[in-house]
Chains A and B, each alone.
Chain A
Amino acid sequence: MKRVGFLRGLTYGSATRILLLGGVVALPFADLTVSALHPGAEFRRLLAGLLSPAFSAIEVWSVVWTVAFAVLGVAAGGSAGLILALFFDRSRLVRLTAAFLRSVHELFWALLLLQITGLSPVTGILAIALPYTGIFAKVFAEIFEEADRSAETVLPHRTSALSRFAFARFPVVAQQLKTYTLYRLECGMRSTLVLGFVGLPTIGFHLESYFKEGHYAEAAALLLCFYVLIGTRRLWARPSTLPVLALASLFVLPQAAGNGSTWSNLARFFGHDIIPAPIRSGGLWQSETWAAFGAWAGRITAYQIAPGTLQTLILAQIALIAAGALALLLYPIVSRRFLGQAGHYLGRAMLVVTRSTPEYMLAYLLLQLMGPSMLPAIIALSLHNGAIIGYLLGRHADQIQLRVDAPRGANLYFYQTTPSLYGQFLAYLLYRWELILRESAIFGILGVKTLGYYVDAAISELRLDTAVLLLVSVAVLSMSVDALSRSLRRRLRVEALPTRLSAESGADSARSTGAYADPVHAQQPLL
């Protein structure tokens, strides 16, 4: 990377200044207006509705289908991810495939799949399974890499690869794989809810129309129902119930809405729709065809990819800074060190609510209240991510060993906890950068002119060739930010610090089951 020289002397301070500078530069370009006529009044109506949920309005089947899509999508993604994880360190192709799959958001996958499999369960399940395969592959590969391999080295020579895996590798990490998969099921439920906003029959489908029509009491009932589902996840989704859940999910799936034959759609999609228009119509060996193709790609790049990328980066940068600031403000509130037991409960409540509320839905709701601009998207992204990082930092603050005469209050915050947590803070923030960027692109579907706006427009005009080109640019952008974030974390020497929410939040369970192998033990050179 060219920037290596420029980043060599990177410190926590200079990294913060660079990130802040990005935010400040982006700010004047962001549309932050509130265009709704009576946002206050609408907000009061929302609160009133949230406080008097109308439970009779709950569409039971939408809840059932949300769970079913999530279970099957995560099961499929988990299985495929496990297989990819085994070849992750050996094959560049596998790593690239996984990176590509996870860099395209599940909503984008859904929009594309709607063209092939129509409004059917397959679309819902695949839209979850495809990006999750990429995520599972990467995380499972990391878990395998960190695992204690000493038992494997003692196996008799000539033990077959599969036996080796089944006896000495898989059982060592089985517990961690289970914990992570169940955590992912929770994310899958959130993703499935959001798929309703593009037409699949999940909770989000009804939420969208309730929000749009201002039926907040009905929406509140559905949301509460969703929170309960997520909050009780540990009761109903366990390793022992998973096979039953998966089987039952298969039987309750909804009927597909008629959309022609999947096979002919698939053939049309790959053989016609996604082939760039100039190539489709011109001869493959004529130079005019390629000139037209160049002009076509140039037009899309200039009028869609470039402005879309810029807006995506602007939104992501502002949201990143806002999320970071919010996290630093929030963490003392949810830490025992500052607020005692109250902080602990506050933290848990905050985590449950922010984790279960999909950012996309929040942005949609805020957009209804405030009118179209970038502001709702910024608020939604920074609330969600800031609260999660704040919660995690609060837990780290709880674990800091303080001397007996440690300062209190503001002095404790500025002199003790914040400086000692700052590296961890940057690790979380930089890790979330890519997640925020992915979401920023997606928010285009809501009308903010990020890349997703152009993708959505291209798909609704059935210009799938353009849509695919745009999606590739989304993938490239998010992979670049991921790479940059990784390199920054390496340079700041915070790459070994935890970043995954599941590691901490599985929380109580993760630590007691030793979800992370003791690194000293794991790296013991046995042979």
Chain B
Amino acid sequence: MAAAIRLDRVSAGYDGTPVLHDITLSIEPGERVAIIGRSGAGKSTLLNTIYRRYPECTALIPQASALVGNLSVFHNVFMGCLDRHSTLYNLRTLVWPPAGEIAAVARVLEAVGLEEKLFAKAGELSGGQQQRTSVARAMLNARPIVLGDEPVSALDRVQAADVLRVLAERHETKVFAMHDIRLALEHTDRIILLEGGRIVLDEPSSHLSHERLLPHFEGAPQ
């Protein structure tokens, strides 16, 4: 079976400043992977590099929820499937949403517990609600791979666990950048630890423990 994601000795950076060095990585379809590491270790850059390499089959949940504040939650979530309809249909939906689309969006919002905010303005939501809207958008996008950059950082543990579970049902392959080690151990099968833009650890979650990972975060709040 072909790998869902394969990086071979990839380096990347912003404005000439290298962030990732020589990353070699292969992720199989169906895997749930957590990328952990201190802030600045290159987690977001790694996710963005993967996104750029597989634009056809990935849905992205960016760190800043990246919503259009002036549009409703419905429209923000609907953006996840703009490529599946004609431009004319999209424009019509902007002005006068068809009942079928409302129902489809309501279903994914229900999964993240936000159905009552369907027509609220995205800009008026709380941080956690915006994050769940962003997750719902990725779910409606329904690509086989989902890349989440701290997709549940603004949620409490229970909500976070729920959201990770529904994401797992919707997308075949999951890659999440996370800072909550406990959550990562509970909800993923494989942990990749980045330090200074290099992979320093890549093991099944079942082989790892909170205590073993903690030294890598010494000095950083955890």
Contact = CB atoms under 8 A, between A and B. Distances in A.
Interface of A: 150-151, 153-160, 162-164, 166-168, 171-172, 174-175, 521, 524-527
B62 A154 contact: yes
A163 B87 contact: yes
A175 to B, nearest CB: 7
Binding site secondary structure of chain A: helix
B127 to A, nearest CB: 14
A526 B64 contact: yes
Contacts of B87: 160, 162-163
A153 B70 CA distance: 17
A187 B166 CA distance: 54
Given A167-B90, A167-B94, A156 B70 contact: no
B90 A166 contact: yes
Nearest to A167: B79
B169 interface: no
Contact of A175 (B70, B82, B94): B70
17 contacts: A151-B76, A153-B60, A153-B66, A154-B62, A159-B82, A160-B90, A164-B82, A166-B91, A167-B71, A167-B90, A167-B94, A171-B75, A172-B68, A172-B69, A175-B70, A525-B14, A527-B48
A150 B143 CA distance: 19
Interface string B48-83: 100110011001101010111111000110111111
Interface string B84-104: 100100110010000000000
Given A150-B66, A156-B80, 20 more contacts: A151-B67, A153-B60, A155-B83, A156-B59, A156-B81, A156-B83, A158-B83, A160-B87, A160-B90, A162-B90, A162-B91, A163-B90, A164-B82, A166-B91, A167-B75, A167-B82, A167-B90, A171-B68, A175-B70, A526-B62
A524 B134 CA distance: 17
Contact of A156 (B48, B76, B82): B82
B64 A168 contact: no
Nearest to A149: B66
B196 to A, nearest CB: 19
B137 interface: yes
A172 to B, nearest CB: 6
B66 A156 contact: no
B23 to A, nearest CB: 17
Contacts of B137: 154
Given A163-B90, A527-B52, A155 B79 contact: yes
Nearest to A150: B66
B141 interface: yes
A524 B66 CA distance: 11
A154 B62 CA distance: 8
Nearest to B143: A156
B59 to A, nearest CB: 8
B154 to A, nearest CB: 16
User: 7 shortest A-B CB distances, which residue pairs?
Assistant: A150-B66, A157-B55, A156-B83, A159-B82, A163-B90, A160-B87, A158-B83
A163 B91 contact: yes
B95 to A, nearest CB: 10
